[in-house]
Structure 1
Amino acid sequence: MTREQLVAECARLGAAELTYAALVSIESGRRKPDGRRRREVTVDELLVLGLALAVPPLLLVLPVGSDETVPTVPAADPRPPHTVWRWWTGEETPTLSGPTDGRYYTDPRSITEGGPRWSAAWAQAAYTASLYPEFERRRFAVDKAYRRAMRAGDEPVRDKERATDTRQDYFEHLEQLAYHIDDMTRAGLTVRRLPAIWIEDMKGLAMLDHPDAVTPEEDD
């Protein structure tokens, strides 16, 4: 892709400010006499550039698999890209203090006087962020189990035990999804719509603490 093509694609995505000159300044990393970059990249522009280049935006700033380390914050040492990646996604708690005895430690201070510990506040926020990816994993598992159960039920009645086992496997995965939906509800999160038959089964088997938290998918 040429710069001209990238400029056109950015404009198509609504970022007309990413002109040819702007892209040159970004790519060259030219700085002013005081050390600041002549052209910074906003979070919105980072998303545009990622979509225009067909590259996950985080890979534009965290080159996983190529660079050994990347900068973190000015007051801390660089870390491996994948480590910082996990900070961005909330999968790992940042460790800025250290190294002490060759190890880094999470920030032990309180956010404010008498307030929660920094690490505890981070963990609480990261927990909420982790609920959606886990929901998708469990939803996918239920979908696979449900399809297996339906196929087994449609087969000629030759293996009743297999049909029973696949049905039980579906209910077990559905129960795990229901537990997770309860966690999301307690965290105040909106639950993605689900197939009506799943909701009927969860309600019929009293799997949900808050049945009204789930709504069926709309018909196409």
Structure 2
Amino acid sequence: MHSHDRPSDVIAEQVRRHRTRLGLNREQLAERCAELGAPELTYSALVDIENGRKTKEGKRRRHVTVDELLVLGLALAVPPLLLACPLDTAQPVPSVPAAEPQAPYTLWKWATGQEAPAIAGPIDGRHHVDPRPIGDNGPRWATAWAAAAYPASLHPEFEKRREAAHRAYLRMERADADKDAQTDYFQRLDDLAGVADDMARSGLPVPRLREDWIEDMRGLGMLDASSMITPEETNA
């Protein structure tokens, strides 16, 4: 097992693990990486990555770039972030050189915008979110992080509410649907419209929706950013 000094060490271990899981040798993985547009991930490069070979100065000979991480994830049929944050282990994993290793799920949460990274400190034995402002007159680090990460919460919330609206719509469309089904449908549409407005205000493109849903939202005055939502394309 590699010493997990850098994220590339974790990635190397996971590449070898998933390659073995799939029954691939390095030549086969290199061929797949080349097909995906990364010919630099040759057999020799994969040997250097997986074995963590060092230079004379004691540095890792081959790190994994972000571009390569995406290719390796696709080639190995595994979400790329799981190569750096394997969630099936309790062993801490590294992030930035100045921070102590973190639990994989902790790193996962701040890499996906769910939680600000607590890497400052420690104070009283605990690490915390950096409280300092950015630059001389910038916002506090935590405030800037929250503003940047906020859009990451909107897409999954939109999908959840769109699915709820879809289920309510199907119930309402049944022949035996009652008034309560229609009321529930309108409530789910209102919930969805709220997230759509939040996305529009954040400068995010709002995913397309059914045209009749948009008409209902507009007719009931649910949308503030009505012009930002376009209907799904339908086959003629």
Normalized against structure 1, the TM-score is what? 0.92
What residue in structure 2 maps to residue 129 of structure 1? Answer: 152
Distance in 1, Cα, partners of 2:139 & 2:121: 22
Q: Does 1:192 align with 2:207?
A: yes
What residue in structure 2 maps to residue 37 of structure 1? Answer: 60
Select 1:209's aligned residue among 203, 209, 224: 224
What residue in structure 2 maps to residue 158 of structure 1? Answer: none
Give the partner amino acid of 1:212: S
Which structure exhibits the higher relative contact order, with contacts defined as CA atoms closer than 8 Å and separated by 6 or more residues?
2
Deviation sequence 1:142-188 (CA, Å, 0-9, x none) = 1121112212xx23xxxxxx521121111111101101111111111
**C-alpha RMSD of the superposition:** 1.3
1:139 CA displacement: 1.2
What residue in structure 2 maps to residue 143 of structure 1? Answer: 166
Please give the residue correspondences for 1:72-91 in structure 2 after superposition, counting only pairs within 5 Å: 72-91=95-114
What residue in structure 1 maps to residue 74 of structure 2? Answer: 51
Select 1:176's aligned residue among 171, 177, 191: 191
Q: Does 1:14 align with 2:29?
A: no
Deviation sequence 1:75-125 (CA, Å, 0-9, x none) = 221110000000100100111123322322110111110110011000000
Give the partner amino acid of 1:117: R
- What stretches of structure 1 of length at least 5 have no aligned partner? 156-161
Give the partner amino acid of 1:127: Y
- Following TM superposition, where does structure 1 have runs of at least 4 consecutive aligned residues deviating by more than 6 angstroms? none
SS at match of 1:144: helix
What residue in structure 2 maps to residue 5 of structure 1? Answer: 28
What residue in structure 2 maps to residue 99 of structure 1? Answer: 122
SS at match of 1:212: helix
Give the partner amino acid of 1:181: A
Give the partner amino acid of 2:75: A
Deviation sequence 1:45-67 (CA, Å, 0-9, x none) = 11111011100101111111214
Distance in 1, Cα, partners of 2:26 & 2:101: 31
- What stretches of structure 2 of length at least 5 have no aligned partner? 1-23
Identity of aligned residues (%): 58
